[in-house]
Amino acid sequence: MAVSDGVVKKIVLSYTYVAIWIFLSFTVIVYNKYILDRKMYNWPYPISLTMIHMAFCSSLAYILVRVLKLVEPVSMSRDLYLKSVVPIGALYSLSLWFSNSAYIYLSVSFIQMLKALMPVAVYSIGVMFKKEAFKNETMANMVSISLGVAVAAYGEAKFDAWGVTLQLMAVAFEATRLVLIQILLNSKGISLNPITSLYYIAPCCLVFLSVPWIIMEYPSLRDNSSFHLDFAIFGTNSACAFALNLAVFLLVGKTSALTMNVAGVVKDWLLIAFSWSVIKDTVTPLNLIGYGLAFLGVAYYNHCKLQALKASEAQKKTQQADEEAGRLLEQKDEGTGRKNDNQN
115 phi and psi angles, rounded to 5 deg: -65, -15
Q: pLDDT digits over 18-38, tens only?
A: 889 899 999 999 999 999 998
By residue count, the chain amounts to: 344
- What is the C-alpha separation between 290 and 273, in angstroms, rounded? 15
Task: Tell me the pLDDT band of 2, cut-offs 50, 70 and 90.
Answer: very low
Residue 106: pLDDT over 90: yes
Give the pLDDT of residue 253. 67
- Coil, strand or helix at 76: coil
Q: What is the pTM of this model?
A: 0.85
Give the pLDDT of residue 334. 66
- What is the C-alpha separation between 182 and 185, in angstroms, rounded? 6
As a whole number, mean pLDDT of residues 66-79 equals 88
Give the pLDDT of residue 207. 95
Give the pLDDT of residue 344. 57
Q: Read off the DSSP letter of residue 155.
A: T
Nearest to 244 by CA among 285, 197, 209: 197
From residue 300, how far is each of 16, 94, 290 by CA, in Å? Answer: 26, 29, 16
- What is the C-alpha separation between 138 and 302, in angstroms, rounded? 11
As a whole number, mean pLDDT of residues 263-282 equals 88
Q: Average model confidence (pLDDT) for the chain?
A: 87
Give the pLDDT of residue 9. 80
As a whole number, mean pLDDT of residues 237-254 equals 84
49-86: burial string, b at 16+ Cβ within 10 Å, e else: bbbbbbebbbebbeebbeeeeebeebebeeebeeebbb
224 phi and psi angles, rounded to 5 deg: -85, 80
Give the pLDDT of residue 131. 85
Task: Tell me the pLDDT band of 4, cut-offs 50, 70 and 90.
Answer: low
Residue 1: pLDDT over 50: no
As a whole number, mean pLDDT of residues 289-317 equals 85
Nearest to 24 by CA among 333, 341, 253, 239: 239
Q: Which of 112-126, 257-271, 295-309 has the highest mean pLDDT?
A: 112-126
3-state SS, 227-274, equals CCCCHHHHHHHHHHHHHHHHHHHHHHHHCCHHHHHHHHHHHHHHHHHH
| Rounded percentage of the chain residues whose pLDDT exceeds 90 | 50
Category of 107 on φ-ψ map: left (φ > 0), alpha (ψ -120 to 50) or beta: beta
Give the pLDDT of residue 302. 82
Give the pLDDT of residue 258. 66
- What is the C-alpha separation between 268 and 36, in angstroms, rounded? 20
More confident residue, 52 or 323: 52
Q: Which residues contact 335 (CB under 8 A, 6 or more apart)?
A: none
